[in-house]
Amino acid sequence: MLRVGLTGGIGAGKSTVAARLAELGATVIDADRIAREVVEPGTDGLAEVVEAFGEDVLTTGGELDRAALAAKAFADDTSRARLNAITHPRIGTRTVELMGQTSADAVVVHDVPLLVEGGMGANYHLVLVVDAEEDLRVRRLGESRGMAAEDARARIAAQATREQRAAAADVWLDNSGAADVVRAQVDALWHERLVPFEANVRLRRPRSPKPPALVEPDPTWSAQAERLLARVRAAAGDKAVRADHIGSTAVPGLVAKDTLDLQLTVRSLGEADLISEALSDAGFVRAEGHWFDQPQDEETAPARWDKRFHYGADPQRPVNLHVRSAEGPAWRLALLFRDWLRANPAEAGVYADIKQRLARAHAGDASSLNYSEEKQSWVDAAFVRAERWAAETGWEAGTG
């Protein structure tokens, strides 16, 4: 199953995207609809709401008077928390029930208006955000709901900002144009990303090797990595000692392959094996075989350099997840190398030149294996200089 979070500000046209995804074959679970279900007449949810807020939150027909409830429940933080304590567990239980009823190969789209506000992005393999210009959203709300412009702008202002949604978005869908334009975007997303992503996770399909193609630094790499690390942490649970963005994409301004390197540090490789399936289910498929880092000294037992390796299953966001034990030295060395390059632009420049030269030399290779092996000799020597820098500056790994 692939879990996709769908959100967007009021009036952005999220329903258009949800409807098209359903037409394509997605299972759409509407959080607003569930929120209404759990307080329908005859439910224990409605009974508890009435007990908490009084009989006057009901209509004469015995249904919930949402305006009357809002006037009481949103009057202060305590009242809001009381309402949330009644509805949120029931909404969560019903959502899990619906997800459990889907097929193993389903693409489940969870339509959640307040996904960003609730910090829920780590629960999904991908988050889709639907957006439109504010003036257009105000006009749509007036036409579809008869909402006054000032009320519409107040509702928009009360929700997450565009910047906050952008930070949460794996996919940004601009719905400012005609409906058929965004539908075409959704069609491409479905066929080129969602369907193969689901299959990659379910079948534990490894990523195909690619030649070493370098790209100019992308200023969004850090934000992309943080979204992915949140999913890694959620999957690893209490087995995670720390999770970090490492490698060239973690060094601002450095050319790199457009592949995000992430590191999960656990207490032991035995614990890494315990969370292997959880990480694979979360979209980071474990690679078969014996994986290890290049030993950097003769004192450390070779087994201490062993690691587990997981590939990102998203066909449009290549990821390498290195799972390393805190019992070995490699986790610290990866962080040191990153921080040393960040602090020493001259060394980062030399590293960039070497990477570009080797990338040109191996442009015709089927994979990046030879490129990586030749680069390693410079990296090994750089580790020595980085250790010297760490001793001089008092560098420590910090927190993940």
Q: What is the pLDDT of residue 389?
A: 98
**Per the structure block, which two tokens stand in for 262?**
């992430």
Q: How many CA atoms lie within 13 A of 382 on its CB side?
A: 21
- Please, what is the angle between helix 77-100 and helix 44-53, to 10°? 180
Distance, in Å, from the CA atom of 112 to the CA atom of 241, rounded to the nearest integer, reads: 31
Annotated binding residue at 15?
yes
pLDDT the model gives residue 213: 87
Q: Quick one: tokens of 99? A: 């997800």
Q: Are 296 and 333 in contact (CB under 8 A)?
A: yes
12 marked ligand binding residue:
yes
List per-residue pLDDT tens for the chain, 400 residues long: 999 999 999 999 999 999 999 999 999 999 999 999 999 999 999 999 999 999 999 999 999 998 898 888 877 889 889 999 999 999 999 999 999 999 999 999 999 999 999 999 999 999 999 999 999 999 999 998 898 998 889 889 989 999 999 999 999 999 999 999 999 999 999 999 999 999 999 999 988 877 778 999 999 999 999 999 999 999 999 999 999 999 999 999 999 999 999 999 999 999 999 999 999 999 999 999 999 999 999 899 999 999 999 999 999 999 999 999 999 999 999 999 999 999 999 999 999 999 999 888 888 887 777 778 888 889 999 999 999 999 999 999 987 6
- Per-residue pLDDT at 239: 98
CA distances from 322 to 214, 241, 254 (A): 21, 13, 20
- Look at residues 186, 169, 185 and name the one whose alpha carbon lies nearest to residue 124: 169
Task: Report the pLDDT value the prediction gives residue 109, as an integer from 0 to 100.
Answer: 98
Annotated binding-site residue? 104: no
**Residue 214: closest CA among 356, 361, 357, 369:** 356
Q: Please check whether residue 209 is in contact with residue 43, taking contact to mean a CB–CB distance below 8 angstroms.
A: no
Query: 93, 100 in Cβ contact below 8 A?
Result: no
Annotated binding-site residue? 11: yes
Closest CA to 308 of 231, 367, 232: 232
pTM: 0.91
Domain 214-393 in CATH 3.30.460.10? The answer is yes
Rounded Cα distance, 232 and 323, in Å:
10
Is the distance from CB of 195 to CB of 24 less than 8 angstroms? no
- The verdict on whether residue 301 carries a ligand-binding annotation is no
Q: Is 144 marked as a binding-site residue?
A: no
CATH 3.40.50.300, domain 2-203, yes or no: yes
| Tokens (6 digits) for 384 | 């020595």
Domain extents for the chain?
A: 2-203, 214-393
311 CB-side CA count, 13 A: 17
The enclosing H or E element of 244 equals strand 240-246
In whole angstroms, give the CA distance from residue 130 to residue 8. Answer: 5
What one-letter code names the amino acid at 330? A
